[in-house]
Amino acid sequence: MIKPRTTFVHFVIVLVLVYLFLPWKGIFFILISLIFLAHLVYCSAAICSQAYIKTHCKANSKEKKIAITFDDGPDATITPEVLNILDEYNVKATFFCIGNHIEKNKELLKAIDTKGHLLGNHSWSHDRWFDLFTWEKMKSEIEKTNGLIFEITGKRTKLFRPPYGVTNPALKKAIQTMEFYTIGWSIRSLDTVKSVEKTLKRIKKNLSPGDIILFHDNRKQITTILKHFLEYAKTNGFEIVPLDKLLGIDVYKTE
């Protein structure tokens, strides 16, 4: 687990030593500062760094069990197609939904739940600047989304995935009293930027027991990717299980 605070202490120690013993202080100071800045960026951008928030990215299992997750829905066109494919293969997934997409597709969210899939919170807006919001604004978005999920399904999800997988001290403060499990991934399919062939090649190359795979149910090519992946998993002896069973956690709050 990477600790930014520990890195900062090391940074200060190095600076003191540089000041005391090295003649070329300026260059070394700039170099160390750039390394420290890069480290902080990594801690925020890499959700599985565990730097700010404990995150579940993979199950510790030797059994060939994996879980699949979908971000950024529900989408009126693509999500129903994804649900049909999952039904065809009798697979349950987890959908991390955006609040303002839920608002436009309430019946679709209900269908996801009715079919036995799990629901997660993916913020209200998924704004590109979400990670720069104040902690109060982050908390407001997350609570608003959870409230809408509860209004539609009667369930309060404990699953949260940060937009873009970015974590920081503000987000930690926003969710620390909300009893969430923060969920990352061990395989990012890159289905939003790569071709079907490259996406599948990436997943097949890296697939291993305990993996949590990130897909998106708002991209047209996901239906083709999903069909091929499910066939591959089945052929190679991988069992796709619900996220709560893979991680051994309770997904919904009990009143």
Cα–Cα distance measured from residue 77 to residue 183, given in angstroms and rounded to the nearest whole number: 26
Active site members: 71, 216
Residue 253 lies in a domain: no
How many separate domains does the chain show? 2
Residue 252 lies in a domain: no
pLDDT tens-digit readout, 110-163: 999 999 999 999 999 999 999 999 999 999 999 999 999 999 999 999 999 999
Residues 37 and 128 in one domain: no
Q: What is the mean pLDDT of the chain?
A: 91
Residues 12 and 79 in one domain: no
Beta-bridge mates of residue 216 = 71
pLDDT tens-digit readout, 26-36: 666 666 667 66
Q: CB-side exposure of 54: number of CA atoms within 13 Å?
A: 4
Cα–Cα distance measured from residue 15 to residue 62, given in angstroms and rounded to the nearest whole number: 44
Residues 33 and 78 in one domain: no
DSSP state of 177: T
Residues 37 and 134 in one domain: no
Q: What b/e sequence results for 122-137 when a residue is b if at least 16 CB atoms lie within 10 Å of its CB, and e otherwise?
A: bbbbbeeebbebebeb
Residue 254 lies in a domain: no
- Read off the pLDDT of each residue in 224-250 and give the average, rounded to a whole number: 98
pTM of the model: 0.87
Residues 90 and 205 in one domain: yes
Residue 29 lies in a domain: yes
The dihedral region occupied by 164, where left means phi > 0, alpha psi between -120 and 50, and beta the remainder, is left
Which of these ranges, 51-55, 65-69, 113-117, 195-199, has the smallest mean pLDDT? 51-55
pLDDT tens-digit readout, 66-122: 999 999 999 999 999 999 999 999 999 999 999 999 999 999 999 999 999 999 999
Which domain covers residue 13, as residue numbers?
4-45
Contact 92, 117 (CB under 8 A): yes
CATH number at residue 97: 3.20.20.370
Residues 235 and 167 in one domain: yes
Residues 59 and 17 in one domain: no
pLDDT cut 90: percent of the chain above it: 79
